[in-house]
Structure 1
């Protein structure tokens, strides 16, 4: 996605990581994944949309992509139980999540939090560009406001 000054990409969970989780049945902590049917509305980190009722899902622990250190967390995420085509608009802000309040955490190259901001979801591109304008910021993580769960990563293009 392009703004007037900053080019960036929205990244879902990496396909190779998802394939490994599906194959092994284990999450980032070595714990068994939970297989379940969607109630509807679960945020899918593989295709960056909300689940529809009845879809087969995995719920598992995921460690977002930052170097090991005190700011690296392990938290719950939902993904399809089988391969999916990924986001409808690869690299762009998820259409299903536009208008949804989110927290953006900014990380430096060492994986330390160097800023962040809550936004209402109405103009997420402006907030992403603003945070990425700081040259110290290596990546952003979007997080659910209520639960704090990782939603997706944002990196410079």
Structure 2
């Protein structure tokens, strides 16, 4: 079993409040054309929604594999994801499932999947004892989508 994590609401509030991302770059105000993947609530944007685009650095230990990439979120605080399971609207979307170990290094369990049976693929990756998290990333752009961690008993 596992849980899916969107970008932390506190991180989003900080970015919105400061108007800059982790690199000090100004966030960009965007009006959705529809289909932009929102990392605040893990769904695609609807045409006309007010969004921000900014550089995000997933929380990893210091390592050579830390990176910053562009993400979309609502311009104003939203209710967040509908649950902690795989986002229904993103089923069938090809993704890179990048596995990481406790050092923040990419683990060989990383794979590209076609979007079918994401729970099965994630469960198989998380069965690897050294894997502590999996970041889902967009295939075409490489952007961070969400993080997956094991549920702890």
Give the alignment's TM-score, normalised by structure 1.
0.94
1:124 maps to what in 2?
118
Which residue of 46, 52, 59 maps to 1:58?
A: 52
Q: Which runs of 5+ in 2 are unaligned?
A: none
User: How do 1:1-157 residues align onto structure 2 when only pairs under 5 Å count?
Assistant: 7-88=1-82, 90-115=83-108, 116-157=110-151
Give the Cα separation in 2 of the matches to 1:87 and 1:95: 11
Cα deviation, 1:93-129, whole Å, max 9, x if unaligned, reads 0011001110100000110001201111110000000
**Cα distance, 1:135 vs structure 2:** 0.8
Q: Compute the RMSD of aligned alpha carbons.
A: 0.6
Q: Which runs of 5+ in 1 are unaligned?
A: 1-6
Give the Cα separation in 2 of the matches to 1:155 and 1:30: 29
What is the number of residues matched between the two proteins?
150
**Cα distance, 1:71 vs structure 2:** 0.1
**Cα distance, 1:28 vs structure 2:** 1.1
Cα deviation, 1:12-40, whole Å, max 9, x if unaligned, reads 00000001011111101111100110011
Give the Cα separation in 2 of the matches to 1:136 and 1:83: 35
